[in-house]
Amino acid sequence: MSVWLSHHWHAFVLSLKRLAAAPVGSVLSILVIGVAFSLPAGIHMLLGNIQTLSAHIASMPQLSLFLRVDAGDEESAQIGVRLREHPQVASFEFIPRDRALEQLKQESGLAGLMEGLERNPLPDAFVVNAASPLPAVLEALRTELQAWPGVEHAQLDSAWASRLDALLNLGRLAVLMLSILLGFALIAVTFNTIRLQILTRRDEIEVSKLIGATAGFIRRPFLYFGALQGVAGGLAAWFILLLGIRLLDTELRKLAQLYGVDFSLHHLSMEESLILLLVSACLGWIGAWLSVASHLWRIEPY
């Protein structure tokens, strides 16, 4: 047991020394891995942030009910009564056409254009908050309201949120594909680093074999090196993301405020960060293993 431990400790220390022995090369390879990994990790992080936002909006089940332009006050009052009695309606707000026009004039800066209009082109409208956030229930409610007399159009405001959700799923698929491709890149980078190491340490490997080193003893420092380099690359990716967030967050917050949304970027969660490091370590290990398996046996004695 202690021999086993000391062998592993020896391999770990040796691989650290080898990383430190060529600092420029090590830093460059680690940066390459870090940059490659920060791409999928960064997109994943952005998707996660957008999803929190869209989930927040989608959880407000809201419908807009536009009445026919020629509908009179009586019809709107009737609809108000029906809405109040409807079990699926939690609350609603009536927006008369005149107020809607006022709002449009104020908010859009189109006041001049509006002055030129002969009559108000906007209909009376209701903003309805539904009792249930379930998409199926909302859709049923929309169809029902649409059929009421005097209603020109019923619109599900959260529809875009579910469309965004579908888009996010597509994005997640893209992240997965990108991760797989860049994972191969990491394996390739490690494979080559280890190949060079094996070539430069040919004498050491040969002598070690001749004096009774097992294949595992010779392999181990290279595997540790690959895994360590992978972890360091993963860490680099993590810090690249952190830097990106720091640079973008203030501007994004300003932009979000313009849309009246409270939004700020969040880094990967603890769990996601650990997965990032674990995956990069595993890929580095695999690259090292492939390299060792394909190069070590060429060095005599077998």
Pick between residue 157 and residue 206 the one whose CB is nearest to another protein.
Answer: 206
> In the Cβ-directed half-sphere of 281, how many Cα atoms lie within 13 Å?
10
Residue 232: CB minimum distance to another protein, A:
24
Pick between residue 56 and residue 202 the one whose CB is nearest to another protein.
Answer: 202
Pick between residue 169 and residue 214 the one whose CB is nearest to another protein.
Answer: 214
Task: Please name which of 136, 152, 182 lies closest in space to residue 67, comparing C-alpha atoms.
Answer: 152
Pick between residue 13 and residue 243 the one whose CB is nearest to another protein.
Answer: 13
Residue 12: CB minimum distance to another protein, A:
14
Residue 302: CB minimum distance to another protein, A:
7
Q: Quick one: tokens of 4?
A: 């086993």
Pick between residue 87 and residue 301 the one whose CB is nearest to another protein.
Answer: 301
Residue 10: CB minimum distance to another protein, A:
6
User: Which stretch of DSSP H or E encloses residue 154?
Assistant: strand 151-156
Pick between residue 184 and residue 297 the one whose CB is nearest to another protein.
Answer: 297
Q: CA 28, 201, 209, 302 torsion: positive or negative?
A: positive
| Contact indicator for 245, 253 with CB cutoff of 8 Å | no
**10 Å Cβ neighbour count for 26?**
18
Length of the chain (residues): 302
Kindly list the distances between the CA atom of residue 301 and the CA atoms of 145, 215, 216, 283, in Å, as whole numbers in the listed order.
84, 11, 15, 29
Residue 292: CB minimum distance to another protein, A:
16
Pick between residue 214 and residue 294 the one whose CB is nearest to another protein.
Answer: 214
Residue 125, SS3 per DSSP = strand
Residue 106, SS3 per DSSP = helix
Residues near another protein, by CB under 8 A: 2-4, 6-7, 10, 203-204, 206-215, 217, 300-302
Residue 289: CB minimum distance to another protein, A:
18
Kindly list the distances between the CA atom of residue 97 and the CA atoms of 33, 84, 133, 152, in Å, as whole numbers in the listed order.
59, 20, 28, 14
Strands 125-130 and 89-95: antiparallel
Residue 212: CB minimum distance to another protein, A:
4
Residue 22: CB minimum distance to another protein, A:
13
Task: Report how far residue 172's alpha carbon sits from residue 294's, in angstroms, rounded to the nearest whole number.
Answer: 35
Q: Quick one: tokens of 121?
A: 């082109």
Query: What burial class does residue 12 get, using C-beta atoms within 10 Å of its C-beta: 0-12 exposed, 13-18 middle, 19+ buried?
Result: middle
Pick between residue 22 and residue 279 the one whose CB is nearest to another protein.
Answer: 22
